[in-house]
Chains A and B, each alone.
Chain A
Amino acid sequence: MSTETMPARGFNLSKDDLGADILEIAMGPHHPSTHGVFRMDLKLDGETVVDLKPIFGYLHRNHEKLAEDIPYPGSMPFTDRLDYLCGMTNNWAYALSLEKMLEVEVPERAQYIRIICAELTRLVNHCLLIGFFINDLGALGTPLLYALREREKILDLFETLSGARMMVNYMRFGGVRCDLPDGWLEECKRIVDKFPAFLDEYETLLNENEIVITRSQNVGVLTAEEATNFSITGPMLRASGVNYDLRKVDKYGIYDRFDFKVPLGAHGDCYDRFMIRMLEMRESIKILNQAMKDLPDGDIIGKVPRVFKPAAGTEVYGRIESPKGELGFYLVADGSTNPYRFKVRPPSFINLTALRHMCIGHKVADAVIILGSIDIVLGEVDR
């Protein structure tokens, strides 16, 4: 093969094609920048990534098969451990699927509490993401800890509400487990009111920072067409300029009652993905303020059967907009108390499929921030 007809970059490159040595390195599974036990087998030409092979499964815990052996309610605590940063939204997605299957009505108050919890979870997740994103860029420690400090306050709220900071196990089929404790709402209001000040501070710290801009702009670009072809969802898709948010599209729960905007990016690069999260947090605060203002009194759990036994052959796919994207549970019932098939559609797993495409042609250091901007949690990727 002559040197003029080089193959498309990244595909089966051999040493001869490039005329240089290609170095293969395994990045991970214990590399700190891979956010868990994730491995990237990189092929490097100098410092440029020519090929990348994501390898995962180190955290596989057999979640889907396990759920087939236990009754429906027993899987609820396991969903906390999928995306262990967003227990509330995972709970909601699972509860929503079975409610759809059994056609259970959720009382008004429970719907509001669910929305409050889900939006707080979005704040928690995005706080952590932006912190680690900056950490990946090289600002070790300090900005991350500012974000973690804010997150901690919300986790304390979750602890008061459900008994645990992260493994909440709070939602139930037809509602939520317990009502808000006395004074919880006031505390929540106080924290949410203070949150924009943190965001302002964080924006002054980073948004105009030259290093952040040069490192992340035009890095890992994903066009709208590519993003839709990769089935990407969530903030990553919206950063590419596609207006698709399940809160607006599906209007699950009672999201149609709230006034909020869906922030959209224009370039689809890492900087846009970072900014989208900052903007989404402000929208979440808007939703939270409305929900806390309108929270009605009433029941927290609807009329649910004592034993969950959906009719044989019923299939349902329930999905919500989790902080990372579309989280779906596909359930097939066989008439018993256990599901026949339990399938999870994890957003970070599917978003991860675009990693190779985004990384090729960039430097190794850029691969780290591209991975950081995807926002993966290995508990969900490997299940």
Chain B
Amino acid sequence: MSLLAKGILQGMAVTAKNFFQSYYKKDRLPTVQYPEEKSTVNQFTRNIPFLVFDGDDPIDGMRCTACTLCEKACPPQCIYIIKDKDENGKPIKRPAVFDIDSSVCMSCQLCVEVCPFESIRMDSEFELSNENRFEGLLLNRDELLRSNEYYHEIHPLEAQETDDRIVAKEAEAAAKKKEREEKARKAAEAKKAAAEKKAAEEATAAEEAAPATENKVAETEAPKAEAAPAETAPTAESPTEPEAKQADAAPEPKAEEETPEEPEKKE
């Protein structure tokens, strides 16, 4: 009999230990008196998505461009987007309708991962109960829009990373734009220089073809003459050189403006 009671007594001892520890040991006190007392929400928690906007005006600051990538990626297909249009019927990069059916959403975060504009993010709001089970759970665009400050409040780390990424992206875009402008400028310059060179060549060709009185002949022979004078041009035809140099030294911002002048110079 004593043998039989051993295991039970051991078990009771463990229970008693837990019972007394539940009064003072912190990790043995897991209960939170919910409506009065709320445990803090983990900042990495995700629930239903929301749309981020910058600045004060939700419509103007909306990051979403209605590209519908999230709509396509959503496995339970709970996102519905219609693009906005202006008065003339021209599409604007903004959603007119952006619905998320929160009763269907399964909080998988795939929409967040595909969004290239850092627009859709996960909320950590957990008190989602609603009296109206149809319209109440269908969140429309204005209900979904939340400020970037709110995003920073609920997911501080992630929001900071996102902001850094946006800044980096903008800087990169600006650098690229500058590069593109530079390229365009250089291309224009090169084009102009080439045109001038061509004009000069044509001039030399015309000089060479001077015995032939007809202009037509000069024009037809120009391609053939092109190869030969290219080598001789710098040495033999010194008067053309200053012109090319002038083109190089031309003020940079004017480069594009000068291109239309090409035909004039040809003449």
Contact = CB atoms under 8 A, between A and B. Distances in A.
A74 interface: yes
Interface residues of B, number: 26
Contacts of A81: 106
B11 A163 contact: no
B108 A210 contact: no
B220 interface: no
A2 interface: no
Q: Is the interface of B mostly helix, strand, loop or mixed?
A: helix
Nearest to A213: B7
Given A205-B11, A208-B10, A209-B11, A77 B110 contact: yes
B110 A73 contact: yes
Nearest to A67: B75
Contacts of B11: 204-206, 209
Contact of B45 (A77, A149, A159): A159
Contacts of A156: 42
B73 A163 contact: no
A164 B8 contact: no
Contact of A159 (B13, B30, B42, B75): B42
Contact of B10 (A75, A159, A167, A204): A204
Contacts of A266: none
B174 interface: no
A380 to B, nearest CB: 17
Interface in B168-203: none
Contacts of A163: 44-46, 107, 109, 122
Contacts of B46: 163-164
Contacts of B4: 210
Interface string B1-36: 000101110110111001000000000101000000
B8 A209 contact: yes
Contacts of A201: 14
Interface in A168-213: 169, 177, 181, 201, 204-206, 208-213
B5 to A, nearest CB: 8
Contacts of A74: 73, 75, 110
B212 interface: no
Nearest to B30: A149
Interface in B69-115: 73, 75, 106-110, 113
B106 A160 contact: no
A181 B160 CA distance: 14
A205 B30 contact: no
B228 interface: no
A177 B122 CA distance: 15
A50 to B, nearest CB: 32
A206 B14 CA distance: 10
A318 B18 CA distance: 44
Contacts of B28: 149
B15 A160 contact: no
B157 A160 contact: no
A108 to B, nearest CB: 23
A164 B107 contact: yes
Contacts of B10: 204-205, 208-209
A70 interface: yes
Given A74-B75, A205-B11, A146 B110 contact: no
B45 A70 contact: no
Contacts of B42: 156, 159-160
A181 B161 CA distance: 13
Contacts of B122: 163
Contact of B106 (A77, A162, A208, A210): A77
A182 B8 CA distance: 44
A142 interface: yes
Nearest to B18: A146
B246 to A, nearest CB: 50
Contacts of B6: 208
A161 interface: yes
Contact of A204 (B14, B45, B73, B107): B14
Contacts of A167: 106-108
Interface string A118-158: 00000000000000000000000010001001001000100
A14 B122 CA distance: 60
A149 B157 CA distance: 28
A226 B260 CA distance: 91
B75 A78 contact: yes
Contacts of B8: 209-211
Interface in B39-76: 42, 44-46, 73, 75
8 contacts: A70-B75, A73-B110, A77-B110, A169-B108, A205-B10, A205-B11, A208-B10, A211-B8
Interface of A: 70, 73-78, 81, 142, 146, 149, 152, 156, 159-164, 167, 169, 177, 181, 201, 204-206, 208-213
> What 4 pairs across the A-B complex have the smallest Cβ distances?
A77-B108, A163-B46, A209-B7, A74-B75
